[in-house]
Structure formats: structure tokens, C-alpha cells
Structure 1
Amino acid sequence: MHLVVVGIFLALSTLCSSLDNGLVRTPPMGWMTWERYRCNINCKIDPENCIGELLIKNIADKMVDSGWRDLGYVYISIDDCWSLKKRDSNGRLQPDPDRFPSGIKALADYIHARGLKIGIYADMGNFTCGGYPGTTLDTIKIDADTFASWEVDMLKFDGCYSNSTEKALGYPKMSAALNATGRPILYSCSWPAYEGGLPPKVNYTLLGEICNMWRNYDDIQDSWASVLDIIEWFADNQDALQPAAGPGRWNDPDMLIVGNFGLSYDQSKSQLAIWAMMAAPLIMSNDLRTISEDAKELLQNRLMIAINQDPLGKQGKRIAKSGSLEVWVRELVDEQYAVAVLNKGTDGLPKRFTTSLALLNITKSTFGYKLFDVFDKEFLRTVKPETAFDMSINPSGVVMLFVRPATGRRHHHL
């Protein structure tokens, strides 16, 4: 079976060439229903929180009115459970008319009128993960054409209820079908998450040619344990994953849960810091209507966003571990860097950590570097590469630094 799948990979990689839609040269930012709202379809009892056009419109309005759109959070994506349990008489997917009475095209118009982009969900398989109609190999073209006719801007293509061979055929085929519509549609592939996330079963060269982003690992849950598990998996496997990412093609460690129920303030900083270090999509799944000011301020931190959106598009790496501490470094444009020191410990006492830029292999500027604390929003000091400096990192917290040469051009985001 493995040889068959490899053969399919090779055949399709020559057949399908490249997605080449010009999209997401920096990681996409936005909002998605799944983690926070799951498959809540009970609109009679819970009309404001069910998967339907009222929720989507309310969130879209908040994204504009509360400043999210202007910071780059522009995709608003409907996950599973939006459709009826059967296709229409022409074989097309159709939204549930009770929950989406205006239809998806009208909802797309509403979202586009607010300067936002709309995303939708489908599944490469007989059924979606929630049990709704899937996209089989023979319905890929009609589904791509349907989404394009609705003026959808993003497709998350999941992988429940299909086997490895069907996925190896279907994911590239959907890429070609989306390209053929002539509409630029961000293509988010869940394929690697269903194949263990790692080579040789996952061909990241091919993925970079056919997908804009891809889920590598398990679904995120609303807990620090889940966030930490994802961080550790990406760090432990970074040598295979990090080279695959770049402008137009991103590893996706899953949604931001900041503003929900499971993370403390420090843990919220930690998720944001490491997602920014990993050049990950910043796709929130929370309730923007009731989000706390603290969570909103973290998610709208301009320097964190600028680091995440750095146009070099180079994913950062964990370069050292010391007890419960991890040190991450990301190279940015103009010889700038981001540094994050994560404290995985929960033993109550903040950890002291002393380092120098030379130890982090940041040495090019003979004039030294300016250090900025990303979350405290303050300039700290100018240091030479060999100068030691220390910091204190709270339990399950992070210290994130932006490092800029003391002379030369300013970062274009600042």
C-alpha cells in the first residue's frame, strides 16, 4: 500500500504542478467556528451560538467594530455542520435553510461588504467528521465549482471517512479543481494530520505545491495541556516541519483558544508567542462578542502580530531546553529576530534565566541590538551580542523579545 501511495504522490505532483494562487504570503489571520462552537446546531434553544448565519454575521460585525479586521484578522470561516444531510437534486452541497436562510452566497456578500473574507468546510471522504455529506473523488469538481459560485475565499478540507489512497488522490485533485475555478481560494488541507504528520508518509514538498496551509497534528482543545502537547510535538519534529513552511504555505498547529475558558493569562501569552514564533496561522476560535479586555489586548498586540506576519516567512525553532525552560528563536527580515523563553513548569515560582544574544547565535550587528518586550510593550535596553541579560518567566508563561540591530533600517511594521 505504501508503494501505491508513493506512486500516486509522484504522478499527481507532476500532474498538479502548483496551487499558485498568490494567497497568504504571510500566515492567514481570522476566526473559525470549530473549537468554540463545535457542531452546535440547536438554533431553537441557542440561536446566538449555533452554527448559522446569525452567529457568523454577529462575529463579522465585531471583527470590524472592535478593530480585528484592521489588524489583519480578515478570514471568518464556517467549520463543520453547516449543510443539510443530503445534496440537492443537482448533486450540490446545500446549506441548512433553517440556520442559513439567506444562503451562503448572500452571507459571503455580507462578509465581503465589511472587508472580510469567508471560509467554508468540506471533507475528503464519504462523510464529514460531524456526519454531514462528504466530498468523494467524483464530487470534487462540483464542490469546488459550488464554493467558487458562492464567492468563498477559503476552504478547509478535512479527512474523516476516507483512506490513505483516497486522500492521496483527493487532496491534489481538489487543489487543481479550486485552481480551475479561476477564483483565488485559500486551500487549507488536513491531510498530514491523518497520516501521522511526518515523512515519509507525509510528503511536504508536494503539500507545499498544492496547499496554502495544512494541519499537521491533533485538534486543539480548550486546555493548557492541549496547547503544550501541540508545542512539544512541533518542537520535537521541527527538523522535518520547519523547512516546509514559507510564504504561501504554512504549518498549522490549529486555532487560537485565547479568550475562552481553559487558559490563564500567562498561558494565553504562551500560545500567542509560540504560534508567532512558528509563523502559524492566527485563526481565533472564541466569542468576540464577550471576550475579556485582557484577552483582546493580547490577541491585538501589534508587535506579536508583526512578528507573526514577518515577510521573510521563516518558521522559528526551539534551540535549547533547560529544565522546564525552552528557548525559541525566529529570524526576521532586516537581520531582526524574535526570541521566546517558555516556562513549562507549574511549580509556583517564576524561573530566572540568563543568556546573551551570542548564545542565541544573534551576532551580526557590531553596534549591538535593541531589546523590546513584546507583551509588556516596552523598550528594555541596548546590548552587545556578548552582554549577558536576565529575565523572569512565570509558571506556564513566556517572555517574548523583539531584537533589532541598534543601527540600520527600522522594522517596517513599527
Structure 2
Amino acid sequence: MKSIYLFLVVCFLSASSIYAQKFENLALTPPMGWNSWNTFECEGVNETVIREMADAMVEKGLKDVGYEYIVIDDCWQIGRDDNGYIIVDKEKFPSGIKVLADYVHSKGLKFGIYSDAGTMTCARRPGSKGFEYKDAETYAKWGVDYLKYDWCFTEGQDAKTSYKLMRDALYKAGRPIVFSMCEWGENKPWEWAENVGHLWRTTLDIDMNGRYDGNVNGNLFGWSDLVDMQVGLEKYAGPGHWNDPDMLAVGNGDMPINEARAHFSMWAMLAAPLMAGNDLRNMSFSDQEILTNKELIAINQDVLGKQGFKVVDLGNFEVWQKPLSNGDMAICLFNREIKNTKYQVNWNQMNIKDFSGAYTIKNLWQNKVIGTTDTNFLIEVPARDVVVFRLTK
């Protein structure tokens, strides 16, 4: 009798936990794609825009270098039907989400969507609280590949419980969907979310206009401030579970080319998701060159899956290291000054971890091999800019 009881207990626990996991073997490198919010926010997003962004991702060469997700952010939903299923805003998306997802897929791309763990989204559209399983079922039927899940209007909710609930709902729905957790780092998700989401925000929002530093109204931060917030989090990142300092702001506002280059380089060093947010249809040639730089993307997408970390801090001048596969490493000289800065590169005095023997040095933005680490040299790094080296054994 006792053995039968134990058997029933085991069966019950197995059945109750069968969906208590996320989809594995997704986001083994940081996700790359495009999100609608930074350029179009709520008013400008619609079916035509999303189709044209998918077209531009292919035509502008982003798909060829690894970008694959087209993600609709907030404002695609307008209500719920009598059975609790989400209703699409037909004015913005007259063909429906399934047709739009099919179009994105026809381009060889993947489709993403947005919801919120609370009663309402940040733009006051219907949230998923209480409807998690219905929403996950709907996303699976539509062919969704990526879900950004926000944290507005969640008063009284526990983040761990809320995000695990949607994780389980997605798993039960049966379609592998990358789960992007967006609770702004308030509950330190890096400490508990490895088995919940595939990526999690570590910060409040990036200033969508590309501000270098400072914050706007206390909740929009310049991208360099977000870099500072990643220090010490590198041990929590890896294949299938990434720290997310928010979307790229390259191509937004009046961000100068030097700062855009530095911003993109630091996201590459941090193994951060590369989610563009500019208007891909009419971006400048320099922004396109930055977003499609194969050498920096290779640093970001390296299969070892290590997040970079700071090894030298001289106040407004820093050196960052990112371990790469095959014993390679990336070294980034980040000049935060508003003037050019000269730096003496002495390879044996830079606190580089696991540095031994000689390496070939390639300057990645110049796409040029410049020598080996047997030789030290003086280099000038432009104001608010970077020099990124790849060291190869």
C-alpha cells in the first residue's frame, strides 16, 4: 500500500511540474532583431510598418549578418472577447497577426510580439494577468517566435511567480518561443531567472533618442549609464540566458557616429541582445555599416557565450575583455572623455585574464591586422569612442 502511495505521489508531482520549464536550445547566442517601440512607439506602429521593416531587414543586409526577429512592441491589442481571448486592433492590423507573422516568416525571419504581466500594458492596453494560458495558446496559433513580457500595472504581484506562470503557459502551448523578460531589473532576475526566461532586462529603459548619459524623468537612461549597470553581472549570462541592458539606440535621434560605434561595440562586448530600434527603411549609410559590422557581431555572437567585463578603470577611460571560443579574446578600449585620449597599451600590465603567449592583433573597426602582442604601443582613442581588438593565438 505504501509503495502505491509513493507511486501516486511521484506521478502527481511529475504531472504538476511537466510544464515548469522553459524551452531549451533557444537563444544560444544573444537574440538579434528589431523592435518597433523606439521609433514608432504606440501611435506609429501598424501592419504596413511591420511588413516594411521585414522587407528592409532583408534588403539592407541585416538578415545576412544574423538579425532575425521582427518584434511588435505595445499597442497591437485592444480588448478581449467573451471567452477571454485577446482582440487585435483591426485599425492598425486589419489582416490580423497570423497573416502578418506568415509574411515575416516568408522573408526567412522570425516574428515577435509583446504583452505585460500586469492588468494593463505600459500603454494601457490589455495585459496578460489572469489570461496567461489563453494568450500563450493564441501566440502559438499565430506562429509567434519571441515574446517580450513587460512589468507595468503589476501592483501587488510577485515577479518570480508572474514570470514563471507565463513561462509555464508558453511551454504548455507547445511552440518554442523565446521569452524576453522585461521587469527592468527591479527584482534582480539574473539571480533567479536562468530557468525562467531566455533574457531579462537588467535596467530601466534606454533613452530612445540615443542620449550618451544622464536620465530623463528618472526612468530613461543614457546608454553609457546602462553599461555601468552591467558590471558584476557577467557571471549570470550564458547560452540561453542573457543579461539585457535594453534595445540598441543606434540610428535614433542625433547620436553621432563615434557614440553609435561605441554603443554598438559595448553591446557586443556585453553579449547583449542586439535589437535595433531605428527606422531600417531610411537609415544612414554609417548607421547601416555599424549595425552590420560582421567583426563586432562575431564578438557578440561567439558561441562560448561569455559576457565581457571591465579589467582597467581609469575613471573616464576603461578597458574591457570578452573571452571568445578557441582561446581568442576581444579587448575594447572605451574612451568616455569628451576629448581624444592617448593610452599606452602594455599587454602584460592590463590585468587581462588568461593572457599567455603571443596573439595576433586585429583592429576590428579598421578591419586590419596591426601586429602581435609581443609589441606594446601608444594609441589615441577618439572622444566618446572605442578601439576594439580581437586577439587570436
TM-score by length of 1: 0.85
**Does residue 71 of structure 2 align to residue 77 of structure 1?**
yes
**Does residue 168 of structure 2 align to residue 176 of structure 1?**
yes
1:104 to 97, 102, 127: 97
In the TM superposition, what whole-angstrom CA distance separates every residue of 1:90-141 from its partner, at most 9, and x where no partner exists? 21112111110110000000000110001000000011000100111x2110
Confirm or deny: 8 A CA contact 2:23 2:176 kept in the other structure: no
Residues 175-214 of structure 1: pairs in structure 2 closer than 5 A: 175-191=167-183, 193=184, 195=186, 201-214=187-200
Match of 2:227 in 1: 231
Residues 2-401 of structure 1: pairs in structure 2 closer than 5 A: 17-40=20-43, 50-84=44-78, 86-136=79-129, 138-163=130-155, 165-191=157-183, 193=184, 195=186, 201-221=187-207, 222=209, 223-225=211-213, 226-234=222-230, 238-239=231-232, 241-346=233-338, 349-360=339-350, 361=352, 364-366=355-357, 368-384=358-374, 387-401=375-389
In the TM superposition, what whole-angstrom CA distance separates every residue of 1:16-51 from its partner, at most 9, and x where no partner exists? 6531331110000000011111112xxxxxxxxx21
Identity of aligned residues (%): 37
Confirm or deny: 8 A CA contact 1:341 1:398 kept in the other structure: yes
How far apart, CA to CA, are the structure 2 residues paired with 1:322 and 1:204? 27
Confirm or deny: 8 A CA contact 1:16 1:210 kept in the other structure: no
How far apart, CA to CA, are the structure 2 residues paired with 1:231 and 1:380? 28
CA gap 1:80/1:363 in 2 versus in 1, 3 angstroms: closer
Confirm or deny: 8 A CA contact 1:159 1:194 kept in the other structure: no
Count of residues paired in the alignment: 367
Confirm or deny: 8 A CA contact 1:21 1:185 kept in the other structure: no
1:365 deviation in Å? Answer: 4.6
Confirm or deny: 8 A CA contact 1:172 1:210 kept in the other structure: yes
How far apart, CA to CA, are the structure 2 residues paired with 1:127 and 1:335? 47
How far apart, CA to CA, are the structure 2 residues paired with 1:116 and 1:133? 27
1:382 deviation in Å? Answer: 1.6
Unaligned runs of 5+ in 2: 1-16, 214-221
Amino acid at match of 2:271: A
How far apart, CA to CA, are the structure 2 residues paired with 1:383 and 1:169? 50
Tell me the SS of whatever aligns to 2:206: coil
Confirm or deny: 8 A CA contact 1:148 1:181 kept in the other structure: yes
Confirm or deny: 8 A CA contact 1:118 1:153 kept in the other structure: yes
Confirm or deny: 8 A CA contact 1:16 1:172 kept in the other structure: no
CA gap 1:319/1:194 in 2 versus in 1, 3 angstroms: closer
How far apart, CA to CA, are the structure 2 residues paired with 1:59 and 1:289? 7
Confirm or deny: 8 A CA contact 2:34 2:275 kept in the other structure: yes
Confirm or deny: 8 A CA contact 1:345 1:396 kept in the other structure: yes
1:359 deviation in Å? Answer: 2.4
Confirm or deny: 8 A CA contact 1:157 1:188 kept in the other structure: yes
RMSD: 1.7
Unaligned runs of 5+ in 1: 1-13, 41-49, 196-200, 406-414
Amino acid at match of 1:303: E
Amino acid at match of 2:377: F
